[in-house]
Chain A
C-alpha cells in the first residue's frame, strides 16, 4: 500500500494532540460482506479504527479535508451491532451490520431520520416541535470505529497513497465546546425555555395520538375476529378485547401458566404416605439412620473446626 506503518491491512495514521502526545488511528478501505444488510458504497468508504472519544462529525471532516470531500460520517457505536466480540480484524464486516429499525441516538441524525420517517406517511402527520439544541459534543466510548463515506472514489486513493509518517494535527473544531464550557452549555441546554418544552410535549403527543390512530386502523386485530396465520392456524389468546375470548369458547391457559409454565397446586397429587414405623425393622432402621445422621453432622462440625484451627483462628490474643 503505502510507505506508512501498517498492522494487518490497516494503515496507521498518527494524530498529534499536542507537542508531546500522539494518537493513532488505523484506517482501511471498507469491505462489504454478504451479511451486511445496510452497506456503504464500496470504493469510497473509509473504515477508521480507534477514533478519539470526543470526535465529532465535523472533526473528522476537517481531518480528512486534505484528501477529499466527505459525504457522511457514521459512528458505529451509535448503531448497536450484535456479536461485538469477534476477535480478528478480518471479521470486521460483522460490525458493519446495521441494526435495522433501532432508534438512533445520534442527535443530529435523529432529526433527519424522524423527518424522513414522517414524510413517508401518506397522511400528513403532525410535526414535532423540536427542543432547541446547542451543538454539543457527544462523548462515546474510547477506541470507537467510524465509517467515512467520501464523495468520490479518488479521495480514498488519495488517502491511502499519502504518506502518514508526519502526524496530522487534530482539528479541534470550536463549533462544539469542550471542557468546562461544554459542561456549562450542556447544563443550560438541559433546561430549555418553558414555551419550547410545552410546544415540544404537545406536538409529540399529537404525533403519538396520530400514530396510535393509524396503527389502530391498520391493525389486523379486531374484536371478535380470530387471527389466522399463513399456515392456517388460529391463534387462541387469553382474554381479548373486553375480556372476551377471540374465536369464542376455547378454554385457554391461565395467565400464571403462561408466565411460569406451572400448573396450579391443586392438581398436585399428594405423595402416597407410607407407614414408616410399623415394623420393628423400620423403627430400628430409622433410629439407626438418625444416629448416623447425628454422627455425620458431628463429624462435619468437627472438620469445620479443624479447618478453623488450621487457620489459627482460636488464638484469642
Chain B
C-alpha cells in the first residue's frame, strides 16, 4: 500500500515537472485529436498512469474515438491522463483545486524573475575576478589600519571590546581563497521580503586561514580581523577605479556588529552589468574555511568562555590574553554562535541543495512558509513597520525547520532525560508543498520551544553535547550541518508569538470553507502585522534614556551590543514581573537598515513596541504574591523578589494568616484595573532601566476617556458636594431592575381587588444598559442630582424590558382591542406600583415619537417606571396571539376563500393600509419579542465569558455613533448589529459549552483563547480591520456567527416574505436564530451607509497605523479616530448646545458649555425643561427622526446619538437635476432657480421643469426645529451663508 502511494507521489512530482517543461496541456490535447495515431499514444500514456483500471482506460479510448467521429471539432474532449493526474493531485495533495491554483499564482510574485538574472550573473563574474585580484595588505596594527582606511572614508566596524593601542596582534589582508554564491539565492529559494526590500544575493568570501591564529577565538579577535577584511574589500569597491557602479554600505544582522556584512546596491546606468531591474542586492559575507582554519572548534562549544575581559580590565588586555583557563569566567554562548556563523554558509548551501534533490516540493514549501512568516512580521520590516524581535537574518532557520521535519530528529541524551519517547517521525519525501507547509505549522503550533530542544538529525552526531546548549541558551534548535543554534538570541516571547500565529492559521485552514470562505487570502495574502489588532495591549517604549540599574558588562559583550543586551534583559525582567498575567510578551522593532561605510557601528532604533497577550484570568489581579518569608525561609527568593519590585514590595499578612511578600496595585475605578499590566511594565522599566513616564506609552487611557462621562457631570455622582448617590454603573442598574421586577411580580401574585387578572410569567430585560454594552455606564437621575445639573447634562436613558403574562383565552381576537387591553393592564400595573413602592412614578405611554397613533393596530403602548433612585424603565407586554392576528392580515385569509392559494407577486402593492401597517407591526413584533430577549441573554452571557467583549462593543458603538451612523431607527447601524459584529470576533463554534466548563479546568482551551481579543482596544482594532475589508456586496449570504450553540437547532421559521419586503439593509449577519441575517440589519445600513462605514473604517485603520508609528499624540490619536469630518455634507445644521439634554455625552465636548445656567434668556423653555425629569427625552433625536421621515426623498440626514450638536445633510443627488412638474413630486420644489449663483441662462419655466427649493426646505427645518436649531451652514465654497 505504502509502496503504491509512494509511486503515485513520485508520478505526481514528475508530472509537475513535465507541466513546467512542456507547452500548456490544452495544446497537446488538441493536437492529439488530429490524428488517430496520436490518440493511441495518448491512450498508452493514460494506461501508464492509472494501472489499476487500465481496462476502463481502454474503453475510454474507444469512446473517444466514437466521439471524434461524431464531432471532431468539439473543444471539450476527454481529459488526458496527464490532466487527470494533475487534477487528482490538486484535490488530493492540496486543500482543494483552487488552493493549489492559488498557490501557483502566488509563487511567481514572490520569486525573482529569471529573465532579469543575466545582468547579475555578468556582474558577479566580473566581481569574482576583481575580488580574486585584490592586492595583499601587509600586517599592521589594528588601530593604525583603521586610521589608514578612515582616510578613504571607510571605518572599520570593530565590535566591542575594540582593539587598543596596546594590542599586540596585527591585522592583514590577502585575497580570498574561495568565493561562493551561497544562501537562498544560490539555492533558488529566495522569497521577496516585506516592504521595499530587495532580494539578497549572498556571496561568501572565504578569508585565507593564514590570516588567523589559534587564539583568535578569544576576546573578539576573530571579529576584529574579519571587520578589517570586510573594510578593506569595502574600500576597494568604493574606490572609483574599481569600475563597479554600486553603492556600498554596511549592514549588521540583528544590529550585532559582529555579524556585519557588506551590501552592494546597483545604480541604474543601463550597462550590461546593471541589475537594478532585478531588485536585488549583493551581500558580501566573510567566512572562514571549515576545514583548515587554525581556530579550534572545541573552543567554540556553547558553554565555553571566550570573553575573558571586563571593562575594568580593558587596560590590562594583553596580560589577560595568555591567562588561559579561568574557571570563574562565564560562558559566552552568543559570542560563540556568532563566530560559528562564519563557518556555516557553505555547508548550509550543500545541505539545502541535497534536500532539494530528494524532496521535490521543498522549495515551494519554503517559499510558502516564508511568505506566511513575512506577513506576520517574522522577517525584514521594510521601510515602515516593525518586525518581531529575533527573526532578522533567520533565513537558514526556516530551511532548517523544513529539513528537520523531513529528516527527523537526532536522538539525544537530553531528549531522553526530558522524558520523550523516541524521535519525531520524519515526514515523507513526496509530500506536496501545501502538505509540507501544513506540517510546519502543525509543528510550530504544538512544539514547546521553551522546554524541548530540537536537534536535527545528522550523520555522525552533533559536535557539542546537547546539555551544553541547554544550559546556555533559552531556545535550542541545532542544525544538521553545523553546530550552530539557529535560534540563539531569539526571545522566548517571539517564539510563543510564532506558536500562536501558527495555531491561528491552522484554525483558519481547518475551518470548513462554507462558513469562513476561502482561507487562502487570510493565510498568505493578508498583512497581519498590525500591532493594535494583534496584541491586547501595545506599549511604546523609548529606550534612548535606558540605563540598566545593574549593568552586566559580560552580558553586554556576549550580546554584541548594548541595545541587544538591554532588550534581552527587558524581556526577561518583564517575564518575571508579569508572570501569569500574560501569555506572551513580544518585543517588536524595525529591522536593521544599511549604514554608510563611514559609520562603524549600527545605529539602533530606540523605539520598541512591547506587545502583550493577556491571560484574562489573572491579567487584572491586584496583588502579586511573592515568597512566604515566614514559613518558607528562602532568603534567595525573597531577595530576588525584593530586587525585582524595590519599594513596591512589602510584607503583608493575609486573611489565611500567612505573611507573604507582596506587591499591591491600588485602583479606584474599573478602568484603572485594566491598566494594571501597563502600570507594571512602566514600573519595571523605570526601576530596572531608568526609563521615565514619557518613555513608556500606551493608548488605553485615550479609549477609556471616550467612554466616560465628563468630569463636570460625574463629580455629582461620586459624592462630592454631599450629593453623591452610591449606586451607579451596570451593577446598580441591574439591581434597580431586579427591584422593579420583584415589585411587578409581587403585584401579580397579590390577591387584593387591584390584583392583575393574569399572573406575570416572565420579565426579560432587553436594554443594552442591562447587558453591559451601552457606551456609557448607566447613571440614574434622582431629583437631588437633577436639580443641580445643567439642562444639557440632564439625561437618563430608560431601560427596556418585556413582560410576559400567562396564557389566557380571554384576550380579544382583534388587534386594536388587544392594544386597549394592554393599556388597561399597564395602567393597573402602574397604579399598583405607585401605591406599593415609595417614591416610584409610573405612567402609560400611549403613542410613539411621531405622535399618538390613532390607527390603533401598532403596538405602541408602554409602561414607564421611574424609581426613587432615579432609574427609569420602559416595559412592553408580549402577547403571542398578536403574531397570529397579524399574519392573518398579511396573508389575508379572512376576506377571501381560504382554499385558494394566491401566488402573485404584486400582492403587496395591492393591499390596503392595514396590510402595510400589519407588515411593519409584524416585523416589530418579531424583533421586539422573539429576538430582543434572546439577543439580550446571549450578549449578557458573552460579557461574563469574555472580559474584553463589553468594552469592545462600547468602543465600537461610540465609533459608529461619533461618525453619525449609529441608531436604532432608520438607515443607520443598529446597536444590536454592532453587538453581533463584535461577538463575531470572540465566539467560535461551541463557545457556550466551553463557557459552561470550569475556567481553569482545561489548559488547552485556555490556550485557544489567544485568538480572542483580551482587551477592548484589540477588539476594536480587529473590528475596524474587519469592516475595512468586509465585502458585504460580494458575499451573497452574509456572515455567520455561531452565537447560539447547536442546542437551539429547531428554530421556528419566521415568515420570510415579511422580512424581505421591508428591508433596505445590505449587511447580512446570520445566527442560528436568524437564518436570513436581517433582523438587526433590515433597515440599515443601506448601501450608502455601508459604503460610508467602509470608508471610515479605512481612514480609522490608517489612523491606527499612524499611532503605531507614533505619528500622532496619545490622547489626540485616539480622539482623532472619533472625529467626524463634516466637509462632505451639503448642509450642516447646528443645534443649541445649551439645551440638548445629552450634550454632556458629546465626544468632543466643550466643558464650558456645561456650566450652570449660562444662558438665562431662554427662560421659558429652560424652565419647561427643568420642571420635571423626562427620561429619554432628547429633542435633537426627535427632530432628527421627524426630519428623516418628512424629507426622506429629499435628503439623507446624519446625526450622532450621543449628544451630537450637528446634523449633516446630503441632498439626494437625483434632485440636483431639474425634473418635470409633478403633483406628487415628493419634495419641495419651485419652478425657477433659487440659487442665484447658478447660470441665469436656463429659462426653466418654458421647459416646465422644477427645481429643488433648497432655501425653502432649510426655512422649514429652521421652523420645525425652533428652539433646538441654532444655525444652518451651507457647505458651498462660493457662497457660505448662514441663516440666523
Contact = CB atoms under 8 A, between A and B. Distances in A.
A139 B1190 contact: yes
A190 B1269 CA distance: 23
Contacts of B60: 284, 287-288, 291
A184 to B, nearest CB: 6
Most interface-central of B852, B903, B1165, B1168 (chain A CB within 10 A): B852
B110 A316 contact: yes
Given A17-B1256, A24-B1230, A197 B844 contact: yes
Contacts of A104: 854
Interface in A119-143: 131, 133, 136, 138-143
Contact of B899 (A138, A201, A253): A253
Contacts of A36: none
Interface stretch (B217-225, B299-307, B811-819): B811-819
Interface in B1165-1218: 1165, 1168-1169, 1174, 1177, 1179, 1182-1183, 1186, 1189-1194
Contacts of A314: 102, 105-106, 109, 525
A195 to B, nearest CB: 9
B830 A194 contact: yes
B19 interface: no
A301 B101 contact: yes
Counting chain B residues whose Cβ lies within 8 A of the other chain, the interface size class is 35 or more
B1227 A178 contact: no
A192 B846 contact: yes
Interface in B150-201: 192, 194-195
B521 interface: yes
Contact of B1268 (A80, A88, A179, A201): A179
Interface in B1214-1259: 1220-1231, 1234, 1245, 1248, 1250, 1253, 1255-1259
Interface in B808-827: 812, 814, 816-817, 820-821, 823-824, 826-827
A5 interface: yes
Contacts, number: 297
Most interface-central of B816, B831, B1221 (chain A CB within 10 A): B1221
A242 interface: no
A257 B901 CA distance: 9
Contacts of B844: 191-192, 194, 197
A171 to B, nearest CB: 12
Contact of B1259 (A12, A23, A140, A189): A23
B854 A143 contact: no
B97 interface: yes
B823 A291 contact: no
B235 to A, nearest CB: 36
A95 B851 contact: no
Contacts of A181: 1165, 1168, 1266-1267
A8 B1221 contact: yes
Interface stretch (A37-45, A48-56, A151-159, A265-273): A48-56
A78 B110 CA distance: 67
Given A20-B1255, A21-B1259, A103 B374 contact: no
A35 interface: no
Contacts of B1266: 178-181
A190 B852 contact: yes
A50 B1228 contact: yes
A94 B755 CA distance: 54
Interface in A270-317: 280, 283-285, 287-288, 291-292, 294-298, 301-302, 304-305, 308-309, 313-317
B904 to A, nearest CB: 13
Contacts of B826: 197
Given A142-B1227, A237-B898, A261-B901, A20 B1283 contact: yes
Interface in A162-203: 172, 178-181, 183-184, 186-187, 189-192, 194, 197-198, 200-202
Contact of A142 (B849, B1139, B1194): B1194
A7 B852 contact: no
A231 interface: no
Contacts of A17: 1256, 1259-1260, 1262-1263
Contacts of A315: 109
Contacts of B1253: 22-24
A141 B1226 contact: yes
B87 interface: yes
Contacts of B371: 316
Contact of A138 (B851, B1224, B1262): B851
Interface stretch (B76-84, B498-506, B544-552): B76-84
Contacts of A141: 1189-1190, 1192-1193, 1226
A205 B820 contact: yes
A261 B900 CA distance: 8
Given A54-B1263, A253-B899, A314-B106, A287 B56 contact: yes
A235 interface: yes
B657 interface: no
Given A208-B814, A305-B102, A95 B847 contact: no
B101 A201 contact: no
A88 B1224 CA distance: 10
A298 B63 contact: no
B913 A80 contact: yes
A143 B59 contact: no
Interface in A209-236: 212, 235
Contact of A305 (B63, B105, B830): B105
A98 interface: no
B98 interface: yes
A205 to B, nearest CB: 5
A251 interface: no
B737 interface: no
Interface string B328-339: 000000000000
B949 interface: no
A294 B86 CA distance: 11
B914 interface: yes
B855 A179 contact: no
A95 B106 CA distance: 63
Contacts of A10: 1221
A58 interface: no
A189 to B, nearest CB: 7
A258 B1165 CA distance: 60
B59 A142 contact: no
Contact of B1174 (A92, A187, A316): A187
B1221 A89 contact: yes
Contacts of B903: 261
Contact of B1177 (A187, A192, A197): A187
Nearest to A198: B827
B1194 A7 contact: no
A261 B849 CA distance: 42
Contact of B823 (A139, A200, A285, A292): A200
A309 B105 contact: yes
Interface in B492-526: 521, 524-525
A43 B1078 CA distance: 52
A201 B821 contact: yes
8 contacts: A18-B1283, A21-B1283, A53-B1264, A136-B851, A190-B852, A259-B901, A284-B59, A317-B375
Of all A-B residue pairs in the complex, the 7 with the closest CB atoms, nearest first, are A179-B1266, A180-B1267, A21-B1259, A17-B1259, A201-B824, A261-B901, A191-B843
Given A143-B1224, A314-B105, A317-B527, 16 more contacts: A7-B1245, A7-B1248, A21-B1283, A50-B1225, A92-B1223, A142-B1193, A142-B1194, A142-B1228, A179-B1263, A179-B1265, A208-B820, A259-B891, A284-B56, A285-B63, A298-B97, A301-B97
Interface of A: 5, 7-8, 10, 12, 17-18, 20-24, 26, 49-50, 52-54, 80, 84-85, 87-89, 92, 95, 99, 102-107, 110, 131, 133, 136, 138-143, 145, 172, 178-181, 183-184, 186-187, 189-192, 194, 197-198, 200-202, 204-205, 208, 212, 235, 237-238, 252-253, 257-261, 280, 283-285, 287-288, 291-292, 294-298, 301-302, 304-305, 308-309, 313-317
